Amino acid sequence: MENPTDNHTIELPDEKSQPVEKSWEERISTFVDAISRPTTKAGELLTTLLDTFFPDGITSYHNPPSSDSNVSDIFTQLITLCDVKALAEHGVISKALMASQLHKIHQNLQAYCKGSTRSVFMKSLVELCGEFFNLMIDFSRQDVVQLMPVMEIFGSTGGGWKSPYAQDLSKQVREYETYFTDIYPRWKDWRKSKILISTFDDPQDPKTFIQQVSDTLMANSNTNYESIRYFSPEDVTQLEAVSDNKTSITNACINSKLRLFNEVNAEFMKLYVYTFALHKFAPDNWSAPTMAPSAKVSTITYGPYGRDTFPNGSHGLDDCGSGSTLCDDEPGVIIGININAGDGNPREGELFTIRGLNEGYNHIIAVDLYYYPRVMCGVEFFFSHGTSTGIMGKRHEKAEVIKCGPIGNGEFKLTGVRMADVTREQSGKAISHMELKFEHIRVASDDG
């Protein structure tokens, strides 16, 4: 008879472990980290690429999802991202990937990592990656600009990088950098064209003038429809007053359109910033830090933010403000900040002074702005060394928070602030509008 006090270990059968879904940012960061180590073995790098971008048991853009699969490949994640964030028209990217040779690249990548005749599969990979690149950058196709997110994922791997035996790898890296630098302005122009300002009279009251700002891509996605309506009050009857109202409303709509675009562009930059690691694929350059190839692609803007640009339904002339023109300060290196953090009135606010900022190693990477009801009532700065100021000001419990940054791994620093104030009857001037400019911490060249 067994002693009941004896310890027994019961062996249970191992259950098949379920892979954990990683975000597309985590996947790209993992691969960039891999190429930043002193390895010369192609097998190690390609195995990391396969395991990170195409994990086992995946839900693939090319095959229907299996019932027991809960992990997507990175291109399936990209399709969802572009739909949710409205970086491309719905269906464009999935259609292009289905028509491409990406599934064959995946198959050859698997064969290379698991097979013995690697030279054969490497040659095939090089050819397939070249075909994929040429297909996606074919400027004769109407959707070429919208396929830029695909190339950002593809390019972050070196675009197939053509193995360590490839001739003149530095030249290919430059070709990719030139492509991304040249097509980015075209993507911005295309995306701006999808944010429309429409003008019409209120059908229920001809005296009411209405302008509406609409992001048509957001309207076609499964997200909140970004729309802002402005109207002139019904009691406006004099022609001159109506004309002045139309000017104020038009200016508010222009600012609203700019804000909508800048927010989409900031989401796009979260993808685009990984192309700044392309030069790591050049021979003996694995340890180099990420770097923007040109000043043309190294900056992003948030705002202008103000009551008149909030996408919360209809607005009247009171939200347009009067004389709220952003200052013309030129961006530059920020080495210190003085903040009067009160209820918006600088005569009553508590003075905060931020010192110790440095262009190289300690800079502002993100800013949270708090608005209620029409002026800024709080602000918080976040720094590259992992700390923040905390919320400064008398933040109202119903205040709306606007998060500006961070982008990448804190690789963008605040370089410019433009503000506009408004005079309130009882408490004097307060900040009504804010626009923030961020720049990548490293830029290869300053060519404008």
Q: What local confidence, expressed as pLDDT, does residue 325 receive?
A: 73
The answer on 249 and 211 residing in a single domain is yes
The answer on 392 and 352 residing in a single domain is yes
Task: Classify residue 351: in a domain, yes or no.
Answer: yes
Q: What local confidence, expressed as pLDDT, does residue 409 receive?
A: 83
The answer on 242 and 324 residing in a single domain is yes
**Cβ contact 403:311 at 8 Å:** no
The residue assigned the tokens 């993100």 is 366
The answer on 237 and 378 residing in a single domain is yes
Task: Classify residue 72: in a domain, yes or no.
Answer: yes
| pTM score of the predicted model | 0.84
The answer on 146 and 216 residing in a single domain is no
Task: Classify residue 252: in a domain, yes or no.
Answer: yes
The answer on 200 and 156 residing in a single domain is no
- Let me know if 151 is exposed, middle or buried by CB neighbors in 10 A (0-12, 13-18, 19+): buried
The answer on 132 and 264 residing in a single domain is no
Closest CA to 149 of 80, 61, 103: 80
The answer on 234 and 142 residing in a single domain is no
The CA–CA distances, whole Å, from 227 to 31, 181, 309 equal 38, 31, 10
**Mean pLDDT, contiguous 10-residue spans, the chain (448 residues):** 44 49 88 77 80 71 50 88 92 91 87 77 82 85 92 75 55 84 95 90 73 82 60 53 70 89 95 90 82 92 88 70 68 72 54 74 90 85 90 84 90 90 68 91 71
The answer on 152 and 210 residing in a single domain is no
Q: What local confidence, expressed as pLDDT, does residue 72 receive?
A: 83
The answer on 307 and 162 residing in a single domain is no
Task: Classify residue 277: in a domain, yes or no.
Answer: yes
The CA–CA distances, whole Å, from 64 to 71, 74, 80, 97 equal 13, 15, 15, 14
Domain with 78, as residue range(s), is 24-166
Task: Classify residue 121: in a domain, yes or no.
Answer: yes
**Cβ contact 100:130 at 8 Å:** no
**Cβ contact 36:278 at 8 Å:** no
Q: What local confidence, expressed as pLDDT, does residue 140 receive?
A: 84
The answer on 200 and 100 residing in a single domain is no
The CA–CA distances, whole Å, from 92 to 76, 80, 96, 194, 388 equal 13, 12, 6, 15, 40
Paired residues of 59 in beta bridges: 72
Where among 145, 166, 187 does a domain terminate? 166
Where among 117, 148, 166 does a domain terminate? 166
Where among 150, 166, 182 does a domain terminate? 166
Task: Classify residue 433: in a domain, yes or no.
Answer: yes
Q: What local confidence, expressed as pLDDT, does residue 35 receive?
A: 81
Task: Classify residue 358: in a domain, yes or no.
Answer: yes
Kindly report the CATH number assigned to the domain that includes residue 431: 2.100.10.30
Paired residues of 313 in beta bridges: 228
| Number of domains the chain is built from | 2
The answer on 217 and 107 residing in a single domain is no
Q: What local confidence, expressed as pLDDT, does residue 95 receive?
A: 92
**Cβ contact 180:136 at 8 Å:** no
Task: Classify residue 173: in a domain, yes or no.
Answer: no
**Cβ contact 215:86 at 8 Å:** yes
